[in-house]
Structure 1
């Protein structure tokens, strides 16, 4: 038990601040050993909270790791007895209802390993202020509802830091004595402190321009280290596509004269939407055909769009408090998902998003950190940048879109932006705008924001042949979650299709949207001549688990005939899961694992048909992951899941060896590399075929070797390397090691590519996995202070390498890393510990082994970030 537990913050305790800050003027002087930050704040009493004629409350500012050198009120220096340094901040008696406060603080960015506030990354100064990093830069009201106009003057050594950037538009620049220079920036749009950004470094940039729908010209710039300047074009092109899409789909135009992106190697998150100056993790913005895979190209396009879309859904309209985090993140994830669907394959994008939701977010819903989309409390806000906030939050917005339809949803978003522009809003404000514009009652729907957990629908059906009446009966439920034992019925959109024996849709509209509002509800369909096969939850119309007693034959039928692309894939997944579960049972009973004929026949029909959509076929050939099998299991049998999945993959590879060879040959490139949706899909299908070929014949290993040697792009090269590394055929280990060395020697000076090199080895489930990871931690390529390296090696091993991680040594290894990391970077430590927190899903012995490591972690002096996760996991 800790002596001093972190404080819990509750939504019900929210109140407006005592003061507002109308204008913020920063003067940041950067040196090699420290930085001096002078902050001049125009402070005004919040007269809705206090009467200026009565006693004025003290101004209490947030501040962490700051050395206060001077404080002035209205131009006069205040002595030390005129203010109070309080825990985590500064208290100043207010001289009036409006006044100027000036502080001068000394900070040490060079020693800031938390990567929050102002820190140094590879010789570059940069900031990360969301959620509460600004308080590490200067004393401030560091909360999202305090919105201020910012001016920032930056000065530094000109030879070391020729580029000085901040939010808004550049105003002026000049030189100082001793080889220093300065630049002043002004952002005319009020923003909370979490959106402040500063960058100083020896950077190069690429420039472009974008003409808005009203005819304004905007300068676009992407800054990076000189060695990466050739990797910027894809991000700039993605940005221009996102800007045009946001104008066409949402009517949102960019508002500053310049939009800047900076690539940073050391970054806790993927990217940050700071107003006009987005800071990106290098892995999320830099790409070239030689160094980035197709998935990286698509990921970069999506993340660039996401951060740009925040300019309106997050910046112009921000969130009132951190409980409303999904107001900006859920809405913006929905927007970037729609953008990606329009740029690529809509059905495959939906499959990717739902796969993540089912595997990881559903697991989060069922775990100790389960929380609603709008949480009721938290200890450390950094722990709530979760899949529930982002992905489930996006699904909640998607359901509103389904209920309103495209046109009414657009009216709702227009009303929301118009009504709350320049304000800090709430989830309630967003839903109210949709409700008003859509002329719909969303009162019950609001429970999606309030209730944690994954709802489940049980569906049964009846057919009355004498009346031609088909009836679906749907019952909804949701299991208890921490702090919420009782659940109320939700408003759930359930998209349904009915298919006849010939594979045709029976409903005139194809898909009908049913609205479930009761705990149990019946829906009838008239005029049918025979009982149809129901296609339920088309397009995954709600983030729920659906239970319907399909036969294997019905799933195979849907897999072949459903007009909904997502449901065709889902039927394939469900059929594979059933077969895998039977194989797991056989493994545990020490019986031979056999593959049901219906699945083999279904794959035969799938592979025997002409390839009309390579992206869809590629998605259907991907078997359910071990992580998904674990999530849907009441008790996870690690070795059995792995053995069953390997056996099924090997079976399909052997039975359809000829067809996979034909696919591989038929998908060969017919021109130079392009990161187009069509070419990406074709390459992905080719490499899926390669993976199957390598399972059934030594020829596959030779094909992988040849593909690596002849590849003109990282996708083909890396997929060939992964095929070699993961193969267990005779002689493949030595060949894989030689190609790993070859890969490393060629790309060792490129950090983003080396992250791939680390991850492919971390995920390899051959014997000795932990020892390989420990050895890689001593390699020159590994940097224990770089979040990307930690995620690529330790994160991948503990979350994806099931057989390697799940043993006492693996559990102790993760605990050791988390304990050591917590002192340097609490955010990353609290995220890496997640695999141990899922211990209740495993058999008794493994539960005890995993829990004991959590207890060992808990016995340390922990950061608030890690304390919250571990303490909740042990309850």
Structure 2
């Protein structure tokens, strides 16, 4: 979605602990102990009902090691009906949320029967109801809400599952593995039995029962096996599943070609669910997806939606090996599966689209989500050392920074040695629960390369700050690259160690723009280092961290005109993009600090980029897009949101006014028909919206008219949403007309209605807070659906200017949403806390208001441990 420890660093533990609470217990990685009891086999029998489901579980248990400790089974919210040990009533006792059973021998059969209420399960963890169907979510610790079991990832079992339910209400009965039997039962009920031949941890268990229809297809593996593929949805949604099926087949073929991984069952099922906390879940052979990552057609889904569906379908499929066949030993190793699989899905997306644009998008996400995490109160290592609630560690650090760590390994080893290492990893640990150290050891053993120093990236939080400048010796015809690094303290880590940082580096001739010699991979592994380049006749320009080879903050000393030249000449697409972005960022930071702004260089660089026929529309769109207000704020010691907003608006207005003809030409570029999903067509549509935004910034009246014309004439959601996304921030009749038309057309489509809520929450208007408060009272807003809550509250919290309204109403609104959601769904509520946790970065007035709302949240009685951990750590 999913022990040989590295050397302990000064300042451990790596995660600052929340203040003590009588009901919340901290789990620490250093306390890991192998399970006392294993469960090689489990049989589950479900009598399904929306209100009252009975679950009978038969566990074959084995003592693990020489000890006399009892069997302890985790449970949460279960009504226990009976417990048997080897067929006889057992003298079991409950200790908190655990069921404790004393067992004399080394093996036994334990039977339990419990009752649960899926309809009352608003947490959406365990077995729950969604729109009349039943489904499960067990990662990380949801299986204990289904039956009593040692709910930890290092207990792997083979599952046999029987389900019985009303045939009319639940005509489709699905679980993991293969369906082995079906039949009719009394009173209009029917049943199905499923077996999964592969041992798996309980977090990968899945069950779905409902009135669904399948888009079915087949895939022939490299070895010639036929695999049946099904995507189950409600009947009305069946036409919107074609792209997801196409993406699945692409992912299966890609994993065979790039990683040599072939699918191992004869059946692969996906089910789309409306109420889901995450994007999707990789349950073995039965992936459960949020509908947002399955359903798409040109009328209702943007190009971004199509890309996200391909990415998430691939991600969950790739987990079949990097997460399922080899799983993680404990939840501290979460990045073992998630960071690795994100890296794999990034490679897939790059190969089926534009590699350059994909890298830009990935780094933008990292900077927007992970860098702030690394610099704030919730900073933690890729492999954290402690937690109160593991669900809080499904973070950008674990996923995205974890993927960057894997990318560094790939860069250091090269494709062939990296592939040899992953082959060894899969072969060595197939059917096991492994650790991050196991993964690194496989890479080392297969490549012969010592990676031990790089393991510090797993255990040390924070984003390294690298400074670079280059000097030139004309007589020696040599250039010297001077580098230094610094890593600021993070919670729980006051003292930092030097990081090994791989930097892809090249020198560029100032006059010709040609690269001087070959690109070099430099590893900065000291606090200060110098690297010599020979054969350099004149003072060169520096192109460094090409392809974003390391997740760092980079400060390069540049001469006059150097960024402008690199923006046109650098042969590395990402480095070229960085040069243009840095030109804009310098102007924006100056404006936010009330200093003089050199808009001329930005205008000239954007004009030259638009006019360059050597680059495609997709790259142009990404390169000229102005940095977000949040990214600008990250460059400031003290953030004043109004100043940041004014600076960005002013620069965009200057660009739009002076390049209005060029922006109109880009907007009118031919191609990009709505039914064309090629990378070229997507690029044209992307540039169309970016150019429209600049044009409207320079002339709001003409921009509104052009946006309304695009909205009315759009034959696809990308153009329609692009126009509406602009209109929501403008005053005038076009705004209201477009919003009303959008709502009337799509109010019956939940996913598109989420867009309607989200676009208004992101509006750059002084009235946005008032409008968001009204939307929270709208009949179509529901706090119980995670997608709808994220669309309104999550989008608003990402609206830098509106959220930070100086009256503090934005902060109060978010705190209200957190507290209300916490009563229903703590996991979703906790993910809304981090925007308030950045209070230290802001000017005193806003800082005080943000902290007050955090204190209100943290001080609320009966708070879940999910929200408590996030809020209390944010106050430390």
TM-score using structure 2 length? 0.96
1:724 Cα deviation from its structure 2 partner: 1.6
Paired residues of 2:244 and 2:294 also in contact (CA < 8 A): yes
- Of 674, 695, 698, the match for 1:696: 698
Paired residues of 2:456 and 2:499 also in contact (CA < 8 A): yes
Q: Identify the residue that residue 590 of structure 1 maps to in structure 2.
A: none
1:503 Cα deviation from its structure 2 partner: 4.2
Paired residues of 1:755 and 1:788 also in contact (CA < 8 A): yes
Q: Does 1:579 align with 2:591?
A: no
- Of 673, 680, 683, the match for 2:682: 680
- Of 309, 332, 355, the match for 2:318: 309
Q: Deviations over 1:438-478 (max 9, x none)?
A: 11111111101010000111112211111011001211221
Paired residues of 1:642 and 1:803 also in contact (CA < 8 A): no
Q: After superposition, where does 1:416-815 map in structure 2 within 5 Å?
A: 416-509=425-518, 511-551=519-559, 553-586=561-594, 594-610=597-613, 612-669=615-672, 671=673, 673-697=675-699, 698-728=701-731, 732=732, 734-807=733-806, 808-815=808-815
Paired residues of 1:503 and 1:562 also in contact (CA < 8 A): no
Q: Identify the residue that residue 242 of structure 2 maps to in structure 1.
A: 233
Rounded Cα–Cα distance in structure 1 between residues aligned with 2:744 and 2:686: 26
Q: Identify the residue that residue 93 of structure 1 maps to in structure 2.
A: 102
1:650 Cα deviation from its structure 2 partner: 0.9
1:2 Cα deviation from its structure 2 partner: 7.3
Q: 1:2 to 1:486 in 2, by over 3 A?
A: closer
Q: Does 1:39 align with 2:51?
A: no
Paired residues of 1:770 and 1:805 also in contact (CA < 8 A): no
Q: Does 1:339 align with 2:348?
A: yes
Paired residues of 1:765 and 1:804 also in contact (CA < 8 A): no
Q: After superposition, where does 1:813-824 map in structure 2 within 5 Å?
A: 813-824=813-824
Mean alpha-carbon deviation: is it higher for 855-864 or for 530-539? Answer: 855-864
Matched residue SS, 1:515 = strand
Q: 1:364 to 1:767 in 2, by over 3 A?
A: same
Rounded Cα–Cα distance in structure 2 between residues aligned with 1:805 and 1:790: 19
Paired residues of 1:667 and 1:686 also in contact (CA < 8 A): no
Rounded Cα–Cα distance in structure 1 between residues aligned with 2:852 and 2:821: 19
Paired residues of 2:50 and 2:132 also in contact (CA < 8 A): no
- Of 333, 351, 354, the match for 2:360: 351
1:5 Cα deviation from its structure 2 partner: 4.3
Paired residues of 1:231 and 1:286 also in contact (CA < 8 A): yes
Q: 1:503 to 1:297 in 2, by over 3 A?
A: farther
1:694 Cα deviation from its structure 2 partner: 2.3
Matched residue SS, 2:668 = helix
Paired residues of 1:767 and 1:804 also in contact (CA < 8 A): no
Q: After superposition, where does 1:241-280 map in structure 2 within 5 Å?
A: 241-280=250-289
Over the residues paired in the alignment, what is the CA RMSD in angstroms?
A: 1.3
Rounded Cα–Cα distance in structure 1 between residues aligned with 2:549 and 2:145: 43
Q: Deviations over 1:592-622 (max 9, x none)?
A: x644322222222222332631111010121
Matched residue SS, 1:232 = helix
Mean alpha-carbon deviation: is it higher for 472-481 or for 101-110? Answer: 472-481
Q: 1:824 to 1:131 in 2, by over 3 A?
A: same
Q: Deviations over 1:55-86 (max 9, x none)?
A: x21101100000110111111122xxx11111
1:195 Cα deviation from its structure 2 partner: 0.2
Rounded Cα–Cα distance in structure 1 between residues aligned with 2:560 and 2:750: 47
1:508 Cα deviation from its structure 2 partner: 3.1
Q: 1:700 to 1:844 in 2, by over 3 A?
A: closer
Q: Deviations over 1:323-348 (max 9, x none)?
A: 00000000000000011000111111
TM-score using structure 1 length? 0.96
Q: 1:442 to 1:68 in 2, by over 3 A?
A: same
Q: 1:200 to 1:465 in 2, by over 3 A?
A: same
Paired residues of 2:649 and 2:697 also in contact (CA < 8 A): no
Rounded Cα–Cα distance in structure 1 between residues aligned with 2:439 and 2:169: 46
Q: Identify the residue that residue 28 of structure 1 maps to in structure 2.
A: 46
Paired residues of 1:583 and 1:644 also in contact (CA < 8 A): yes
Rounded Cα–Cα distance in structure 2 between residues aligned with 1:776 and 1:204: 34
Q: 1:835 to 1:483 in 2, by over 3 A?
A: same
Q: Does 1:857 align with 2:869?
A: no
Is there any run of 5+ residues in structure 2 with no aligned partner, and where?
A: 1-18
Q: Does 1:836 align with 2:836?
A: yes
Paired residues of 2:338 and 2:398 also in contact (CA < 8 A): yes
Rounded Cα–Cα distance in structure 2 between residues aligned with 1:552 and 1:613: 28
Paired residues of 1:493 and 1:516 also in contact (CA < 8 A): yes
Paired residues of 1:667 and 1:683 also in contact (CA < 8 A): no
Rounded Cα–Cα distance in structure 2 between residues aligned with 1:780 and 1:527: 70
Mean alpha-carbon deviation: is it higher for 812-821 or for 440-449? Answer: 812-821
Rounded Cα–Cα distance in structure 2 between residues aligned with 1:586 and 1:143: 54
Rounded Cα–Cα distance in structure 1 between residues aligned with 2:73 and 2:553: 46
Is there any run of 5+ residues in structure 1 with no aligned partner, and where?
A: 588-592
Matched residue SS, 1:256 = coil
Paired residues of 1:35 and 1:109 also in contact (CA < 8 A): yes
Q: Identify the residue that residue 16 of structure 2 maps to in structure 1.
A: none
Matched residue SS, 1:712 = coil
Paired residues of 2:50 and 2:129 also in contact (CA < 8 A): no
1:210 Cα deviation from its structure 2 partner: 0.3
